[in-house]
Amino acid sequence: MHINILAGGPVELLPNLNEYKQENEVWVGVDRGVFTLINMNITPQIAFGDFDSVTKQELMIIEENVENMKIYKPEKNETDMELALNWAIEQRPDLIRVFGASGGRLDHFLANVQLLVKPLMEDNNVKIFLIDKQNIISLKGPGSYKIKMRSDKKYISFVPLTLSVKGLTLEGFKYPLKNRHISIGSTLCISNELVSDNGTFSFSEGILLVIRSND
């Protein structure tokens, strides 16, 4: 099972969501993202939010189209996205895609990136990607990973999310590395590229932010 979550980020930054409309996809709307899904002729199976970013008329449309509504007070400890992502992780899907979670407010974007840490800390192997028109973002824990070339996302950046990432090795890249320790704040691994159809990256300690992007 795959779960797609749409948050309320800028619509102009969204990729073509029609590419993700398949039979085994579960759609989740978050706050204004629910209304955006409905406008795209995608009916979410469940919706989360305090819905302070929609008008009364838009909320009526949402309530007419979505059977399973999780409505919260604006004064709460978690963001709407955290509530939705927690629910999605509990369903134990193979993959979670999050759209509409970048752009707009920088505090929300940074919080959404940090939400990806939770499955790593809980030793949950669900794959989670933040996706917009220009970027695909994921977090990785220690291990070895294969990565395929994508013509639409040719740049690959590796950014430490912990104080350091140890033993980073990049093979099949334009700028390879061998057992390097990368400290937080380093730009050493920004804008790398694959030189063949496939490459690998591995590291022994830390948490690594992997960003695939295009200009």
Whether the Cβ atoms of residue 160 and residue 184 lie closer than 8 Å to each other: yes
CA–CA separation, 87 vs 83, rounded Å? 6
Tell me what the mean pLDDT of segment 141-146 comes to. Answer: 96
Q: Which of 78, 106, 133 is the last residue of a domain?
A: 133
64 and 155 in one domain? no
192 and 117 in a single domain? The answer is no
Q: Whole domain around residue 166: which residue ranges?
A: 140-213
**91 lies in the same domain as 173:** no
Beta-strand pair 25-30/2-6: parallel
Q: Are residues 47 and 128 in the same domain?
A: yes
- pTM more than 0.85: yes
Q: What are phi and psi of 145, to 5 degrees?
A: -135, 140
Identify whether residues 127 and 155 lie together within a single domain. Answer: no
What confidence tens digit (pLDDT) does each residue in 86-129 have? 999 999 999 999 999 988 789 989 999 999 998 887 777 789 99
Single out the residue in 103, 133, 163 at which a domain terminates: 133
Segment 20-27 long-range contacts (CB within 8 Å, at least 24 positions apart): 20/97, 26/1, 26/2, 26/91, 26/93, 27/3
208-213: strand order across its sheet: 69-71, 46-49, 25-30, 2-6, 95-99, 127-131, 135-140, 208-213, 155-160
- Provide the CATH number for the domain around residue 74: 3.40.50.10240
Summarised one tens digit per residue, pLDDT across range 47-67 is 999 888 888 999 899 999 998
Mean pLDDT of 28-37: 94
State whether 105 and 56 are in the same domain: yes
Mean pLDDT of 26-46: 94
Clarify whether residues 39 and 108 are in a common domain: yes
Question: Same domain for 112 and 179?
Answer: no
Residues 73 and 125 in one domain: yes
Q: Does 111 lie in the same domain as 148? A: no
Q: 42 vs 52, which has greater pLDDT?
A: 42
123 and 147 belong to one structural domain? no
Q: Out of 81, 116, 133, pick the residue that ends a domain.
A: 133
Based on the structure, what is the number of domains in the chain? Answer: 2
115 and 17 fall within a common domain = yes
Residue 75: the pLDDT is 80
28 CB neighbour count, 10 Å cutoff: 26
